């Protein structure tokens, strides 16, 4: 049986891959949908249960889930949720455990890490960028690992404030850094398409640990690194 790795580096059972699933619906789908089915999804999400729930929602809002355009919708939504919430079934710490022992006394910053997450209050997406910085102790990690941590923490039902703190605390725990800073800027669709309807409003959160919290000069240096040349 084939072992497949998806874009999150997760192993999937070869039996769930698209060749088999796409076959039965050939001719009814767009290429994009066939493609979607070909992307193996992480285990741990009960897709049939989501399908039943989505069908219920369609009925509850007064739709006919059996009309042509909606027939495949529950299955599509189930695949989408499996993708959007795949972070619930992985431990982002694993990325931080492959560190190099090195002394470095300068701030390391990865700026503008884009992410998409899901507001847990409304089940609507919020999206934006994360800036993640640390001042190493004796552990240094590959820069892409910071982006992977953001990605996995984002792919679960979230609130931006908690997401910011979770990323900071993961880095503090695993890297024994002298300081960690996480700044996240995001647009929440629950504020733009419903409720107060304020498109363009950007929500900014930050979590400062160690020297970024205690030393104003280190925090100021970081803010210059993040915003200095493009604001
Ligand atoms: Zn919301």
Going along the chain, which residue ranges are E strands?
Answer: 3-5, 11-13, 99-101, 108-119, 124-135, 139-141, 157-158, 179-188, 203-210
Ligand 1 mean position, distance from CA 161 (Å): 12
Structure confidence at residue 17 (pLDDT): 39
What's the chain's Rg over C-alpha atoms? 21
Task: Kindly tell me if the per-residue pLDDT of 165 is higher than 70.
Answer: yes
Q: Specify whether the backbone of 213 is left (phi greater than 0), alpha (psi in -120 to 50) or beta.
A: alpha
| Domains 3-88 and 94-227 in one fold | no
Ligand 1 mean position, distance from CA 124 (Å): 6
What does the alpha-carbon distance between residue 99 and residue 80 come to, in Å, rounded to a whole number?
Answer: 33
Ligand 1 mean position, distance from CA 62 (Å): 24
Fold assignment, 94-227: GTP Cyclohydrolase I, domain 2 (3.30.1130)
DSSP calls for 62-77: T--TTSGGGTTHHHHH
Main-chain phi, psi angles of 4, to 5 degrees: -115, 140
Quick one: which of 112, 130, 107 has its CA closest to 179? 107
Ligand 1 mean position, distance from CA 145 (Å): 28
Ligand 1 mean position, distance from CA 172 (Å): 28
Structure confidence at residue 25 (pLDDT): 42
Q: In this predicted structure, which of 26-40, 48-62, 104-118 has the lowest mean pLDDT? A: 26-40
Q: Which residue has the higher pLDDT, 34 or 13?
A: 34
Q: In this predicted structure, which of 19-23, 55-59, 65-69, 70-74 has the lowest mean pLDDT? A: 19-23
Q: Tell me which residues are annotated as active site.
A: 119-122, 160, 188, 190
Instruction: Please check whether residue 69 is in contact with residue 28, taking contact to mean a CB–CB distance below 8 angstroms.
Output: no
pTM (two decimals): 0.80
Three-state secondary-structure class, residue 74 = helix
Give the pLDDT confidence of 96-148 residue by residue, as tens digits.
Answer: 998 888 888 899 999 999 999 999 999 999 999 999 999 999 999 999 999 99
Tell me which of 1.10.150.170, 3.40.50.720, 3.50.30.30, 1.10.286.10 is the CATH number of domain 3-88. Answer: 1.10.286.10
Structure confidence at residue 226 (pLDDT): 93
Three-state secondary-structure class, residue 98 = coil
Give the pLDDT confidence of 60-84 residue by residue, as tens digits.
Answer: 999 999 999 999 999 999 999 999 9
Query: What residue segments make up the domains of the chain, in order of their start?
Result: 3-88, 94-227
């Amino acid at each position: 049986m084939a072992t497949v790795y998806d874009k999150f580096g997760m192993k999937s059972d070869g039996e769930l891959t698209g060749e088999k699933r796409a076959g039965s619906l050939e001719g009814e789908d767009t290429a994009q949908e066939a493609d979607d089915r070909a992307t193996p999804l992480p285990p741990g999400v009960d897709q049939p249960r989501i399908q039943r729930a989505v069908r219920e929602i369609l009925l509850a809002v007064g739709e006919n889930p059996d009309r042509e355009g909606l027939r495949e919708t529950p299955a599509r939504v189930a695949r989408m949720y499996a993708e959007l919430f795949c972070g619930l079934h992985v431990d982002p710490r694993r990325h931080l455990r492959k560190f190099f022992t090195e002394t470095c006394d300068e701030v390391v910053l990865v700026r503008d890490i884009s992410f998409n997450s899901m507001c847990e209050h409304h089940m609507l997406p919020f999206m934006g960028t994360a800036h993640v910085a640390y001042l190493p102790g004796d552990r240094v990690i590959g820069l892409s690992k910071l982006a992977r941590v953001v990605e996995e923490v984002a792919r679960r039902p979230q609130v931006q404030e908690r997401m910011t703190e979770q990323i900071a605390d993961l880095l503090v725990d695993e890297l024994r850094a002298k300081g960690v800073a996480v700044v996240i800027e995001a647009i929440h669709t629950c504020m733009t398409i419903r409720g107060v309807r304020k498109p363009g409003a950007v929500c900014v959160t930050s979590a400062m640990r160690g020297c970024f919290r205690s030393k104003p000069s280190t925090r100021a240096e970081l803010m210059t690194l993040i915003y200095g040349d493009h604001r």
